[in-house]
Chains A and B, each alone.
Chain A
Amino acid sequence: MIRFVLVRLLRAVITILAVVTFAFVVLRMSGDPAQVMLGPDVPQDAVDAFRRAWGLDQPLWIQYLAYLKSIFTGDFGVSMRDKASALQLVLERVPATLQLTLPALILKLMIGIPAGVYAALHRQSFADRGVITLAIIGFTVPSFVMGLVLVLIFSVILGVLPSGGQDTWVHGVLPTITMSIGGIGILARFSRSAMIEVLGQPYIRTASAKGLKWRDVIWSHALPNAAVPIVTIVGFMVGSLIAGAVVVESIFSWPGIGRLLIVSVSNRDLAVVQCILLIIAAAMVMSNLVVDLLYGWLDPRLRSHAAH
Chain B
Amino acid sequence: MASVDMAERSQLAGWLRGSISSFRRKAPLSVAFGIFWLAAMVAIALFADYLRPYDITAMDLTSRLSAPGALRHLLGTDELGRDVLSRLIQSVRVSLIIAFGATVLSAVFGTALGFAAARFRGIVEHLVLALADFQAALPFLIMSLAVLAFFGSSMVLLVCLMGFYGWERYARIARGLAISAGAQGYAAAVVQLGATPARVYLRHILPNVASTLIVSMTLTFPEIILMESGLSFLGLGVQPPETSLGNMVGFGREYLTRAPWIMLAPAAVIMLTTLSISLVGDWLRDKLDPTVR
Interface residues of A, Cβ cutoff 8 Å to B? 11, 14-16, 18-19, 22-23, 26-27, 30-31, 136, 139-145, 148-149, 151-152, 156, 193, 240, 243-244, 246-247, 250-251, 261-262, 265-266, 268, 273, 276-277, 280-281, 284-285, 288
**Cross-chain contact B133 with A11 (CB below 8 angstroms):** yes
**Cross-chain contact A140 with B137 (CB below 8 angstroms):** no
Could you show 30 A-B contacts with beta carbons less than 8 Å apart?
Answer: A11-B130, A15-B134, A18-B133, A19-B134, A22-B134, A26-B147, A26-B150, A27-B146, A31-B150, A31-B151, A136-B275, A136-B278, A139-B274, A140-B271, A140-B274, A142-B229, A142-B246, A142-B271, A144-B229, A144-B230, A148-B249, A148-B256, A243-B139, A246-B145, A247-B234, A261-B145, A265-B150, A268-B150, A284-B138, A288-B137
Instruction: Please name the 9 residue pairs, one residue from A and one from B, whose CB atoms are nearest each other, closest first.
Output: A265-B149, A30-B150, A140-B274, A18-B134, A145-B267, A140-B275, A243-B139, A284-B137, A144-B233
Chain B: interface size category: 35 or more
Q: A31-B150, A140-B274, A247-B233 are in contact. Are A262 and B137 (CB under 8 A)?
A: no
Alpha-carbon separation in the docked complex, A91 to B249 (Å): 31
Alpha-carbon separation in the docked complex, A143 to B17 (Å): 41
Q: Is the interface of A mostly helix, strand, loop or mixed?
A: helix
**Cross-chain contact A145 with B150 (CB below 8 angstroms):** no
Expressed in whole angstroms, the minimum distance between the Cβ of B285 and any Cβ of chain A is 13
Alpha-carbon separation in the docked complex, A280 to B130 (Å): 18
Cross-interface CB contact of B257 among A144, A145, A156, A273, cutoff 8 Å: A156
Alpha-carbon separation in the docked complex, A273 to B136 (Å): 19
Residues of A within 8 A of B133 (CB): 11, 14-15, 18
Q: A15-B133, A250-B234 are in contact. Are A145 and B145 (CB under 8 A)?
A: no
Q: Assess whether B253 is interfacial by the CB under 8 Å rule.
A: yes
Q: Assess whether B141 is interfacial by the CB under 8 Å rule.
A: yes
Known: A31-B151, A142-B270, A276-B142. 5 other contacts (CB 8 A): A11-B130, A14-B130, A145-B271, A273-B146, A277-B146
Quick one: which of A14, A140, A156 has the most chain B CB within 10 A?
A140
Alpha-carbon separation in the docked complex, A280 to B137 (Å): 8
Expressed in whole angstroms, the minimum distance between the Cβ of B199 and any Cβ of chain A is 34
Alpha-carbon separation in the docked complex, A283 to B233 (Å): 26
Q: Assess whether B293 is interfacial by the CB under 8 Å rule.
A: yes
Q: Mark B146-173, 1 if CB is under 8 A from A, else 0.
A: 1101110000000000000000000000
Alpha-carbon separation in the docked complex, A68 to B137 (Å): 19
Quick one: which of B137, B250, B267 has the most chain A CB within 10 A?
B137
Alpha-carbon separation in the docked complex, A36 to B250 (Å): 26
Residues of B within 8 A of A31 (CB): 150-151
Expressed in whole angstroms, the minimum distance between the Cβ of A306 and any Cβ of chain B is 18
Expressed in whole angstroms, the minimum distance between the Cβ of A289 and any Cβ of chain B is 11
Interface residues of B, Cβ cutoff 8 Å to A? 130-131, 133-134, 136-139, 141-143, 145-147, 149-151, 222, 226, 229-230, 233-234, 236, 246, 249-250, 253, 256-257, 260, 263, 267, 270-271, 274-275, 278, 293
**Cross-chain contact B137 with A148 (CB below 8 angstroms):** no
Cβ-closest chain B residue relative to A17:
B134
Residues of B within 8 A of A15 (CB): 130, 133-134, 137
Cβ-closest chain A residue relative to B282:
A136
Residues of B within 8 A of A265 (CB): 145-146, 149-150, 236
Residues of A within 8 A of B274 (CB): 139-140
**Cross-chain contact A280 with B278 (CB below 8 angstroms):** no
Residues of A within 8 A of B139 (CB): 240, 243-244, 280, 284
Q: Is the interface of B mostly helix, strand, loop or mixed?
A: helix
Cβ-closest chain A residue relative to B260:
A152
Expressed in whole angstroms, the minimum distance between the Cβ of B48 and any Cβ of chain A is 22
Cross-interface CB contact of B137 among A193, A244, A276, A281, cutoff 8 Å: A281
Expressed in whole angstroms, the minimum distance between the Cβ of A119 and any Cβ of chain B is 16
Cross-interface CB contact of B256 among A140, A151, A250, cutoff 8 Å: A151
Residues of A within 8 A of B250 (CB): 144
Expressed in whole angstroms, the minimum distance between the Cβ of A50 and any Cβ of chain B is 18
Cβ-closest chain B residue relative to A18:
B134
Alpha-carbon separation in the docked complex, A31 to B278 (Å): 40
Residues of B within 8 A of A247 (CB): 141, 230, 233-234
**Cross-chain contact B249 with A144 (CB below 8 angstroms):** yes
Residues of B within 8 A of A23 (CB): 146
Residues of B within 8 A of A273 (CB): 146
Cβ-closest chain B residue relative to A197:
B293
**Cross-chain contact B234 with A280 (CB below 8 angstroms):** no
Residues of B within 8 A of A149 (CB): 267
Residues of A within 8 A of B149 (CB): 265-266, 268
Cβ-closest chain B residue relative to A31:
B150
**Cross-chain contact B142 with A261 (CB below 8 angstroms):** yes
Expressed in whole angstroms, the minimum distance between the Cβ of B160 and any Cβ of chain A is 13
Cβ-closest chain A residue relative to B277:
A140
**Cross-chain contact A262 with B145 (CB below 8 angstroms):** yes
Residues of B within 8 A of A240 (CB): 139
Quick one: which of B134, B249, B293 has the most chain A CB within 10 A?
B134
Alpha-carbon separation in the docked complex, A251 to B271 (Å): 18
Alpha-carbon separation in the docked complex, A11 to B134 (Å): 10
Quick one: which of A23, A142, A193, A273 has the most chain B CB within 10 A?
A142
